[in-house]
Amino acid sequence: MPLYKTDALILRTYKLGEADRIVVFLTQDRGKKRGVANGARRPRSRFAGALEPLTRAGVTYYEREHRDLVRLSYAEATCSPLEASRPDALSHVGYFAELLDEWAQEGDPNERLFRLGTSTLEALAAGVPTARVARYFEYWLLRLQGVYPPHVACHRCGTRLGDEPGGACLEPGAHVFVCRGCSGRAGDPEPGVTLSPGALSFLAAAGSVAPQRLAAVALGGRVDRELESIHRALMRLHLEKDLRSTRVLRDLGRHPDRG
């Protein structure tokens, strides 16, 4: 029964029996895993504080061939989302973890996805405003999965979208960005599917800076709402469902810092 030691991101846990938990975690080198943490729900568990969603931890686990579940023997937190004590940041932890869980594949290593998750956690812990981190995370997650449409030039005429005072529109049905002129020829765009020049500017910055540096990138309330709307539409198209954590955020009525 091979023993593995690795760096991991905890994605979610489920109760098992009276004292155990099933843990879903994303490893740096072997993809997503599911395992049993015996005694994890006991008051003096050796896993205490290490199994919260989006926690980065050093884990040790045993894996048997042809078994779906591994057995976790050790986990120690190295970076915790609880370090981000702001309520809006903590309310988004489950959202980030659920998105990673949806896109990560069982047993399929994806170092770029792992790095996105860890850098997001580090940015939250460093106090970067939550709205900036959320829009950055969504953008890169969609981009890494090949879901984000190109947003540099109009899909129809090739005009550079960043140079257009009217910004860009996500064309209904086609899911490509076009300039205002081309969108007008195709009919009025649906509400909530436009990107202003400010939104395009944020995307350009997000493509070139680390999330820890996002505090210096402008993101006003209108731009935040535009990007959130576009990203949620793209995620819904790809996943064919709404996320539970998205509904929770909406029901809580908590909005990220839009400063």
Name, in order, each residue with C-beta under 8 angstroms of 117's C-beta and a sequence gap of 6 or more: 9, 26, 54, 96, 100
d(CA 61, CA 209): 35
Beta strands in the chain (DSSP E): 3-16, 20-27, 31-37, 56-62, 70-79, 168-170, 177-179, 194-195
Residue matched to tokens 């680390």: 210
In the predicted model, what is the mean pLDDT of residues 225-248?
84
d(CA 76, CA 7): 10
Collapsing DSSP states into helix, strand and coil, what is residue 238?
helix
The answer to whether the beta carbons of residues 139 and 205 sit under 8 Å apart is no
d(CA 165, CA 109): 42
The residue length of the chain stands at 259
Written as one letter, the residue type at 255 is H
pLDDT in tens, 31-76: 999 999 999 999 888 898 899 999 999 999 999 887 889 999 999 9
Q: Which residue has the higher pLDDT, 239 or 15?
A: 15
- For domain 3-79, give the fold: OB fold (Dihydrolipoamide Acetyltransferase, E2P) (2.40.50)
In the chain, where the domains are located = 3-79, 87-252
pLDDT interval class at 253 (50, 70, 90): low
- What percent of the chain shows pLDDT beyond 70? 92
Look up the CATH number of domain 87-252.
1.20.1440.120
